[in-house]
Amino acid sequence: MPPLTLTAGTRLGPYEILSLLGVGGMGEVYRATDTKLKRQVAIKVLPAALTADHDRLARFQREAEVLASLNHPNIAAIHGLEESDGLKALVMELVEGPTLADRIARGAIPLDEALPIAKQIADALEAAHEPGIIHRDLKPANIKVRPDGTVKVLDFGLAKVMDPTGASSVNATMSPTLSMHATQAGIILGTAAYMSPEQAVGKPVDKRADLWAFGVVLLEMLTGKPVFTGETVSHVLASVLKTEPDWTALPSETPAPIRKLLRRCLEKDLKRRLNSAADARLEIDDLLSGRAEPTTAVATISAAVPMWRRTLPWALLGSALVVLAAVLALWAPWRTAPPAAPVRLEVTIGVDASLVTLNASLASAPDGSLLAFAAQSSQGTQQLYLRRLGELRAVPLAGTANARNPFFSPDGQWIGFFAEGKLKKIAVTGGAAVTLCDAPSGRGGTWAEDGSIVFQPSPTGSGLVRVSSAGGTPAPLTTLASGDLTQRWPQVLPGGTAVLYTAHTSVTGFDDATIVVQPLPDGVPKVVRRGGFYGRYLRSGHLVYVHQGTLFAEPFDLARLEPTGQPVPVVEGISNFSGSGFGGMDGAAGSALVAWTEAGTLMYLAGQSAGGEAPIQWMDRAGQVSPLRATPANWSNPSLAPDGRRLAIDINNGQTDVWVYEWARDTLTRVTFDAAADTTPVWTPDGRRIVFRSNRDKSLSLYWQRADGTGDVQRLTESQNSQYPASWHPSGKFLAFSETRPQTSNDLMILPIDGDEASGWKPGKPTVFLGTPFIEVEPMFSPDGRWIAYQSNESGRLEMYVRPFPGPGGKWLVSTDGGTFPTWSRTRHEIFYASPDNRLMVASYAVEGDSFKADKPRVWSERRFSVRPRLRSFDLHPDGERFVLAAAPDNESAVKQDKLVFIFNFFDELRRLAPVATR
């Protein structure tokens, strides 16, 4: 007999009963509170017939242990067994939401809703069958559909240990499960209406019994009525054994692959029945992704259909409902039709945190069900966020502190990312992150179908490497070609026959980079496109890449690894990072915030890249803007001379050089003339020389030159690492700069300089001022030389700090909500920096002995500035009253990028704009 009904407040170990959820032949199910872990669970109190038999209970314990190992998002988890006061209970995950039986009771389920549900059920069966677990009681009442569309299959394996109760149900289609031993002949197992024929006659069963039940459930979803019926259990079993389903009840628009799948699942002859849940899942996935055979009753069901249904809650935000109505009216994916027109849907990305655009990329799971990106919380914690496309909000993924540049595994179950100088992975369901290997910087990764990961370990001086997704020592995969400074953002092409990547030879920005493909394992690399970056091959048969904020596409022959047509522009306004490195941080340079699903949906963050031609302007505290040099140019890194009458900048006119502008005479004088890229000018304290960084001599070292352009260029440092000059000590004896070092990321360095103009200057050996695993850049000497201000991400986001020079001593945090590019005033005790939304902030400070004390920062001007490429975007005049910069337009909003754009049927549009040749 079943146990007595428990009352609210009853305790079973650490669990307190709250209410009765249901009663069945397998026991009573209660809602309970786990008082230790502060969560709600489901408690199934086992029947007395089971608890009295120690052999059966031991067998059930072993089964529960196996089931507990099924860590799958579509299987309700088993937490354990509990015994208290003679009662034995199973502790399970509490799954909210209606059962599939409740949903079917409202009528037939539309195809575009039913197929994603069926795919998740097949996923669950596949995961269970692999370790040999058979459900044996799959039915709509054992399947729940959560509000976000996630399917949870319940009661895995419970039926295989249950005894006959002798009871029969009035409702024959929901009759109790019968039997104890899973595969024992002569014992009937399963709910009558969903039993396989072999179950109905008591024969041994295997996983094909579950596939029969899967077919019954799917057919019932599509028709809205039971497949096998009868007045009693015996009549239902007779129907299972003798009658065929009513195939005419299927909706007329049901695709041929689904009709075929149903017939394969419901073959009474066991030898002709579908043999694998994976085959069922693949059949449905092909249909959802548009890869189904063209002979189907419906040519394809675009992945955009489940996408927009899953994103329906987003559409409640304003005018998106109108867009969805247009999808239904014009697109009609359930009918055979010509290639559908693209449909654009715009929503917010669903997170209050700020996107970490300096070290971020947008990644989509292959099936489009998940988006991953790096963001920074209001508490300053940078980590990965996941957004399920059926939910309104993105949620942080624990264990991913300081993460950047995520990418998915081919099955969508894992995310690879870079953090704290390591390549790591983490399951999309959460848990502990697994460290795979060292990756000092990590400029893009790609997870290949063979289980390996190809990635770029450091910003310069290294080709691509490959490591097992299980971890190990990376092995070199590519080598830098002559002149290349970097290879990054790889993509292993379908079939693993080649790797595509972005290569670059200069530091002037990635709009003039090249897209390269290298056959694997050891083929000869070849350039497939010049003048673009972030190349990706799409299953539509196209190569796409970014140039000046626009996505271009061209047909691409995967077999010959070469384009077969001319590139055409397809999407404008994609957020990207064309600069060579922002603030000395190269973590996102050469990438774009764009992703695709395998089925053909494009997702990107709307925005524009930094840079382009612009005038140079003054801006004062009131936000008033006046021209400094009205002639637009592609300039960056403004540096005002100590005399306040000259401005050094670097300008990209096909090649990048250092120029000096004297506004009183309106003259612009070129200082460097080498074919290399010369950038980031910094004046010496006496205003006679300019230090800059250059990639001449195939390095990224520091050089200097007379400010009037006369004399020879002198090399100051000898390093293969990437270096950025920042500021001079007022004595002129020390140069502070940052260096990207493989061991410790970006560090603060000091270069001593001896000698003078008459006897000659003698650079000394650079020393490390601050070297940690974090990113420290932009070291700026105070006017009195006692302090160095810099920016660091040690808190999880970029903040501005001050330390004493030459040290030792403590550090003081100046910014309170993110801060970059520290700048000292020479006339007041004020220090400036840039906020994350591109406003200038200022903090007054005082010095008391060896202590530095900064006041609360305040906005210096509400007017925002436009970000320039390559490094700095502003500098403060020596009078401390005005900045040189490019002001943002009056109508330009904050730079927080949260406008996520979907373009459904994107592959169809690509084929229209850039037709793929057929053989």
| pLDDT, tens digit, 9 for 90 and up, residues 612-666 | 678 999 999 888 999 999 898 889 999 999 999 999 999 987 678 999 999 999 9
Q: Which has the higher per-residue pLDDT, 348 or 652?
A: 652
Q: Give the alpha-carbon dihedral of 628, 632, 637, 638, to 10 degrees.
A: -10
Cis peptide before 519 (omega within 30 of 0): no
Q: What is the pLDDT of residue 301?
A: 36
**Could you tell me the pLDDT band of residue 697, with boundaries at 50, 70 and 90?**
confident
Q: What is the pLDDT of residue 200?
A: 78
Please check whether residue 746 is in contact with residue 585, taking contact to mean a CB–CB distance below 8 angstroms: yes
Q: Which has the higher per-residue pLDDT, 239 or 717?
A: 717
Whether the per-residue pLDDT at 78 is higher than 90: the answer is no
Whether the per-residue pLDDT at 915 is higher than 80: the answer is yes
- pTM assigned to the model: 0.52
Least confident of 145-149, 747-751, 872-876: 145-149
Phi and psi angles of residue 367, each rounded to the nearest 5 degrees, phi first = -85, 0
Catalytic residue chosen out of the listed positions 34, 55, 123, 137: 137
Q: What is the pLDDT of residue 608?
A: 53
898 is catalytic: no
Per-residue b or e along 317-348, where b marks 16 or more CB atoms closer than 10 Å to that residue's CB: eeebeebbeebeeebebbeeeeebebbebbbe
Please check whether residue 468 is in contact with residue 459, taking contact to mean a CB–CB distance below 8 angstroms: no
Sequence-ordered list of residues with C-beta below 8 angstroms from that of 500, at least 6 positions apart, any chain: 490, 491, 493, 515, 516, 517, 528, 535, 536, 537, 543
3-class SS string, 405-452? EEEECCCCCEEEEEECCEEEEEECCCCCCEEEEECCCCCCEEECCCCE
Interatomic CA distance for residues 461 and 448, integer angstroms:
24
Interatomic CA distance for residues 841 and 828, integer angstroms:
15
Region 109-138 average pLDDT = 90
Q: What is the pLDDT of residue 893?
A: 37
Whether the per-residue pLDDT at 171 is higher than 90: the answer is no
Please check whether residue 587 is in contact with residue 596, taking contact to mean a CB–CB distance below 8 angstroms: no
Ranked by mean pLDDT, the top range of 221-225, 298-302, 354-358, 890-894 is 221-225
Please check whether residue 624 is in contact with residue 860, taking contact to mean a CB–CB distance below 8 angstroms: no
Give percent of the chain above pLDDT 90: 43
Whether the per-residue pLDDT at 1 is higher than 90: the answer is no
- Could you tell me which residues are beta bridge partners of residue 801? 790, 813
Q: Which helix (H) or strand (E) holds 103?
A: helix 100-105
Q: What is the pLDDT of residue 160?
A: 46
**Could you tell me the pLDDT band of residue 395, with boundaries at 50, 70 and 90?**
confident
**Could you tell me the pLDDT band of residue 502, with boundaries at 50, 70 and 90?**
very high
pLDDT digits (tens, 9 = 90+) for 559-592: 999 999 999 999 988 888 776 543 334 567 788 8
Sequence-ordered list of residues with C-beta below 8 angstroms from that of 774, at least 6 positions apart, any chain: 745, 792, 793, 794
Region 549-556 average pLDDT = 92
Mean pLDDT of the chain: 81
Per-residue b or e along 865-889, where b marks 16 or more CB atoms closer than 10 Å to that residue's CB: bbbbbbbbbbbbbbebebbbbbbbe
Q: What is the pLDDT of residue 315?
A: 42
**Could you tell me the pLDDT band of residue 890, with boundaries at 50, 70 and 90?**
low
- Could you tell me which residues are beta bridge partners of residue 526? 517
Whether the per-residue pLDDT at 285 is higher than 80: the answer is yes
Residue 107 backbone zone (phi > 0: left; psi -120 to 50: alpha; other: beta): left
Ranked by mean pLDDT, the top range of 185-199, 308-322, 360-374, 705-719 is 705-719
Q: What is the pLDDT of residue 579?
A: 64
Please check whether residue 662 is in contact with residue 671, taking contact to mean a CB–CB distance below 8 angstroms: no
pLDDT digits (tens, 9 = 90+) for 286-328: 888 766 553 333 333 333 334 434 444 444 344 443 444 444 3
